[in-house]
Structure 1
Amino acid sequence: MLNSDTEPAAEPPARVCHDDLVRYELDGVELWDGTAARGASRIVWEDGRGEGIRSLEPADAPDPRFDGLSVIPGLIDTHVHLIGYAGAPGGAEFFTWPLTTRPEEQVLHGLANARAALAAGVTTLRDLSADDVQFSLGRALAGGIVDGPRLLAHGMVGMTGGHADLFTPAAFPIRKPTADGPDACRRLVREYARAGADGIKVATSGGVLSQGDRAAWRNHTDAELDAIVDEAHALGLPVAAHAHSEDGIRRALDAGVDSIEHATLITAELAERAAAAGVTVAPTLLINDRIASGDPRYGSAESAEKARALVVRRDALLTDAAARGLDFVLGTDANGHHVRFGDEPDELRAMARVLGWSAERTLQAATSRAAAAVKRGDTLGKLEAGASADLVVVRGRPWLDLDALRPENVVAVVVRGRVLVGALPGGSVIR
């Protein structure tokens, strides 16, 4: 179990173990189920042989032991990059650390980053530039070998000289895999599937932090994009597309991707088209705001200039897209440097401001709607009988006031039925 800054409850967590089965109950706690408030509720879940919510029903009455507390589903961050330096800020150079650090050490930093997000109530992370480090970490987390949030990992199919490739200096000999031509793209998708990827990432435009890049540049030919998406979908893998430019967004939609990352310069026509197709967008507001600020901690003057050119038009376009029904979900682009793991609540508050959403609609973007975006809507992002027991006990009512959603207000975090952060306050044992 991770440490919590909160004081432990007077009573220990409510649990009883028969063989390997542990069952928990909270009776009379205020609950929000991922869509709407349920009032005082009785929630029962299992750990051990099972990890699901066994029952959820109205409580006979609120329990005064839970005054000021509520239960919500665990948050889902649909866009992160776990492999960044996890130590104190400024302890390593953002660009060179991954290039000069062995995978055995990287995985430990990835786990530390994942656990930092967990402490803020994030129970599922989706890494969108994964390789064997994240695939291995994801399996260890799923198997209970190490404690932490769920991890979904997408392998990146990038082209030579494309957005992903331009994070590595030209003369550096050790590079992430790239693919040029439809057949090579199909092969790389298959290799990621064999390695255990949960999905595929592709870029259809250039980016901001990649060096010598331009957000307006095309990435991949249409034939390559079609091959990537077709092969991924044939293998049951969803495809997330990095796209800043109008042309990049259009080409991603033409290829049939499942989600778009950033979508910074989305037009009204493209927003309506994406909404009709059920394509979701993670707007990643904080990272581009911070890069655009010109603060040298967050990147070069070149990156700041690129970010400013996008941000100056972004907010009005995204506000209009939301009004047209485009479904935005939580995605921070956290890498431990520009956006720290645990900054997810700050990203949600930025989304509420830019998109003009209520606290409840914004919280849906981090729970039930985010779960649907990562193709886990049947079990994650909601609290109901049969769903996975991923939940957060928090002080306040975040669906009414997003300011309540802060790491210092997290009392307990449960993943796969196990209490991994803090302690449950005053539940009762089922015998």
Structure 2
Amino acid sequence: MSVNELSGVHIWDGNAHRGVGAVGWSAGRISSVDITASAGDADLTVIPGLIDTHVHLIGNASDTPADFLSWPLTTRPEEQVLHGLAHARRALAVGVTTVRDLAADDIQFSLSRALEAGVIEGPRVLAHGLVNMTGGHGDLFTPPAVVDRKPVADGPDACRALVRRWARSGADGIKVPVSGGVLSVGDKASWRNYTDAEIAAIVDEAHALGMRVAAHAHTEDGIRRALAHGVDSVEHATKLTAALAAQMVAGGTTVAPTLLINDRIADGSVPVAPGQREIAQELVSGRDPVFRAAAAAGVEFVLGTDANGFHVGFDDQWEELRAMARVFDWDAARALQSATSRAAAAIGRGHDLGRIADGFAADLVVVRGRPWEDAGALRAESVVAVVARGRLVAGSLPG
């Protein structure tokens, strides 16, 4: 069995800087971590592969302009898989070795299996099946005149059935909207999605089948209801309050704040309808100081970009990290933790992802400089090489 080694580099292990030394790996797993000096003047640093806990792989990945909403309706599923793969590989090239798709169906499940089997190089894809009500946030991405729609579920029994269907199809988890959203057509962020009985059924059934539940929630009411029913993560959480933050800390609920996408929609730097821009502007108004206080209180914010290739690219994770450092008043090391060890724990993979340690997945990123010391240096341009599942997939390793 061949052993690969990277030596003479700084090692930042997902929690802290360990010193200068060597990392060895074999059969896709880290086999050794040797520190030869506590400090040094090495030019390169190896860190764990980044984990983006909130993406949407399926969308136009070509250079040909396409409408964000109509593209999925006019593109065959066979083609959509290839576009999803292109997006996944763009993330991989900048050091994102694991992504979690939070609106998945059989397209993403198939892509995830092919990547896991090594049919083609790409990041690890954890796919969460979307359980969505008629007229809910997810359903409103499809115009009302379209007959061939994504599955919806209404009533507790139907919700349980759809959770079971996604489990049978190979889902890693479940996503449920409990409030309205920004980009869905005719939606209002303030609209309630699902009753308490339906949310309870979804969470209970998912947990019974060993799947984590991510709840899309922008509003105070949506966040409160999601927490009351024991979801594992809240996505966006834009109207978080101090009282809800305390509940999150007590319950260990994580948050993907998706800063860039909401900021870009609000400031008009990406093309959206006027109504969508107004929704985003209202949501982000007053958000940053509340988020900063929540982070200081112990809320576990982790990297989640909501990347879709249109409003946020699949190479924007480093920019999202810089935004998180700014909003939460974090140093560079804390920002990196949110994309490595802490993100791994948030998706239930803290035992084998997000750290450079014996037995962990050999997902490694070699970058120039000392990224744990300077948040401004957290940039995609600094990436020199990417190793995923023990295989070199981008750049070249030193020596």
- TM-score (structure 2 length as normaliser): 0.98
Using the TM superposition, give the Cα deviation of residue 298 of structure 1 relative to its aligned residue in structure 2, in angstroms.
2.7
2:105 to 114, 118, 131: 131
Select which of 146, 150, 155 maps to 2:124: 150
What is the aligned partner in structure 2 of residue 41 from structure 1?
A: 21
- In structure 1, the residue matched to 2:69 is 95
Partner of 1:71: helix, strand, or coil? Answer: strand
The superposition leaves residues 106-152 of structure 1 with CA deviations (integer Å, 9 ceiling, x where unpaired) of 01000100011111110000000001111000001101001011100
Alignment partner of 1:360 is 2:360 = no
1:213 alignment counterpart:
187
How far apart are residue 63 of structure 1 and its match? 8.8
Matching residue of 1:317: 290
| One-letter amino acid of the structure 1 residue matched with residue 136 of structure 2 | G
Supply the distance in 2 between the matched residues of 1:331 and 1:63 (Cα, whole angstroms). Answer: 33
| CA deviation profile, 1:31-62 (whole Å, cap 9, x unmatched) | 1000000011221101xxx2110111212698
In the TM superposition, residue 374 of structure 1 has moved relative to its aligned partner by: 0.5
Residue from 74, 78, 81 that aligns with 2:53:
78
CA distance in 2, matches of 1:157, 1:222: 14
Instruction: Please tell me whether the aligned partners of residues 3 and 24 of structure 2 are also in contact (alpha carbons under 8 angstroms).
Output: yes
d(CA) in 2 for partners of 1:136, 1:287: 27
2:271 to 293, 298, 306: 298
**Correspondence 1:116 to 2:90:** yes
Deviations, residues 139-187 of structure 1 (Å, cap 9, x unaligned): 0110100101110000000000000000101111111100000000000
Q: Secondary structure at the match of 2:107?
A: helix
Cα displacement (A) at 1:29 = 1.4
The one-letter amino acid of 2:171's match is: A
Quick check: 1:22 aligned with 2:11? no
3-state SS of paired residue (1:186): helix
Aligned length: 399
Larger RCO of the pair (alpha carbons < 8 Å, separation 6+) = 1
- Cα gap change, 1:58/1:306 in structure 2, threshold over 3 Å: closer, same or farther? same
Amino acid at match of 1:388: A
| Equivalent residues in 2 for 1:216-255, closer than 5 Å | 216-255=190-229
| Residues 158-167 or 315-324, more deviating | 315-324
- Shift in Å at residue 317 of structure 1? 1.4
Aligned to 1:3: none
Match 2:387 to one of 414, 419, 429: 414
State the Cα deviation string for residues 1-34 of structure 1 (Å, max 9, x = none): xxxxxxxxxxxxxxxxxxxx33111222111000
TM-score by length of 1: 0.91
Q: Distance in 2 between matches of 1:370 and 1:287?
A: 19
Deviation by residue 1:269-301 (Cα, 9 ceiling, x = unmatched):
000101110100000000000111134x43100
Helix, strand or coil at the partner of 2:88: helix
Q: Which runs of 4+ in 1 moved over 3 A?
A: 60-64
Q: Offset at 1:407? A: 2.2
Flag the 1:211–1:239 CA change in 2: closer, same or farther, 3 A: same
Q: Structure 1 residue 264 and structure 2 residue 241: aligned?
A: no
Q: Provide the secondary structure at the position in 1 that maps to 2:72.
A: helix
One-letter code aligned to 1:414: V
Secondary structure of the equivalent of 2:144? coil
State whether residues 281 and 327 of structure 1, in contact with CA within 8 Å, keep that contact through their aligned partners in structure 2.
yes
1:320-359 equivalence runs, <5 A? 320-359=293-332
Q: Secondary structure at the match of 2:98?
A: strand
Q: Which residue of 2 aligns with 1:68?
A: 43
- Distance in 1 (CA, whole Å) between partners of 2:396 and 2:335 is 27
Q: Distance between the aligned counterparts of 1:403 and 1:147, measured in 2?
A: 30
Aligned partners of 2:322 and 2:378 also within 8 Å: no
Question: Match of 1:172, SS?
Answer: coil
Q: Could you say what secondary structure the match of 2:73 adopts?
A: helix
Equivalent position amino acid for 1:75 in 2: L
Structure 1 segment 2-21 matched on structure 2, within 5 A:
21=1
Residue number in structure 1 paired with 2:349: 376
Give 3-state SS (helix, strand or coil) of 2:282's partner.
Answer: helix
For residue 323 of structure 1, report the CA deviation from its aligned partner.
1.4
- Match of residue 4 from structure 1: none
Runs of 5+ unmatched residues, structure 1 = 1-20, 427-431
Task: Please report the RMSD computed on the Cα atoms of aligned residues, expressed in angstroms.
Answer: 1.3
The AA in structure 2 aligned to 1:334 is A
1:344-382 CA deviation, whole Å, 9 max, x = no partner?
000000111111111111110000000000000000000
SS in 2 for 1:386: coil
User: Is 1:52 matched with 2:26?
Assistant: no
Contact 1:107 1:137 in 2 (8 A): yes
Q: Verify: 1:392 aligned to 2:356, yes or no.
A: no
Structure possessing the higher radius of gyration over alpha carbons: 1
Kept in 2, the 8 Å contact 1:28–1:63? The answer is no
